[in-house]
Amino acid sequence: MGELSGPELVAVVQRLAAAPERWAHLVRHDPQQRVYEELRRDADLAIWLICWMDDHDTGFHDHDLSSGAVAVVGGAVAEDRLLLGAPPVTREFAAGEAFHFSAADIHRVRHTGAAPAVTIHAYSPPLWRMGSYEILPGGELRRHALSYAEELRPLEGDEVLRPFGG
Ligand SMILES: [Fe+2]
């Protein structure tokens, strides 16, 4: 199959969004943290189901070498793109909508709206390393390299870095 492009990844997540029998039994919301379920991981593609509520927020991050796409199948999420010297550009996506991003993009995805959200994410090549961005009080941006597995651990206290998600 090889690496998939952003639009090809959108097609993958939209196909899965239309097949709830593949993931509906995995939907579970936890007020403390996003809930992740891996639906597939092979040489070319990783697919996750993620459940969001209560303003869960990934923080700004990149996906190292991977492009990705997200389909919203319940509720809504917002994607922020980081700008220098200006507020982030925000787009909101509700159930039935999808978006994609390249490996070069830095973004943040957060839950929005009153209802819990459910999203399906596809990454190609499969997500392995990530960068998580910390904004220091003076505005300096600092990148922290992470393993994709690190985002699965529970958050500790009011941790600043909340990688991954979109
Ligand atoms: Fe992301």
Separation of CA 63 and ligand 1 centre (Å): 6
75-104 pLDDT, tens per residue? 999 999 998 889 999 999 999 999 999 999
Separation of CA 137 and ligand 1 centre (Å): 23
Separation of CA 46 and ligand 1 centre (Å): 13
- In 8-105, where do the E strands start and end? 35-41, 46-52, 61-62, 67-74, 76-81, 89-94, 98-101
Separation of CA 165 and ligand 1 centre (Å): 5
Q: Which residues contact 34 (CB under 8 A, 6 or more apart)?
A: 50, 51, 52, 56, 58, 165
**What is the share, in percent, of the chain residues with pLDDT greater than 70?**
90
Residues bordering ligand 1, an ion, CB closer than 5 Å: 166
Q: Which residues contact 54 (CB under 8 A, 6 or more apart)?
A: 31, 111
Separation of CA 43 and ligand 1 centre (Å): 19
pLDDT for residue 74 is more than 80: yes
Q: Fill in the amino acid letter for 142.
A: R
Separation of CA 133 and ligand 1 centre (Å): 12
108-162 pLDDT, tens per residue? 999 999 999 999 999 999 999 999 998 899 889 999 998 887 654 444 433 444 4
Q: Kindly state the average pLDDT of the residues 19-46.
A: 95
Domain 6-161: which CATH number of 3.40.718.10, 2.40.37.10, 2.60.120.10, 3.40.50.300 = 2.60.120.10
Contact 53, 117 (CB under 8 A): yes
Query: Which sequence spans correspond to the domains of the chain?
Result: 6-161
Separation of CA 109 and ligand 1 centre (Å): 7
Separation of CA 83 and ligand 1 centre (Å): 16
How many alpha carbons fall within 13 Å on the CB side of residue 10? 10
Separation of CA 162 and ligand 1 centre (Å): 11
The larger pLDDT score, comparing residue 139 to residue 22, is at 22
Per-residue pLDDT at 156: 40
Per-residue pLDDT at 151: 58
Separation of CA 25 and ligand 1 centre (Å): 24
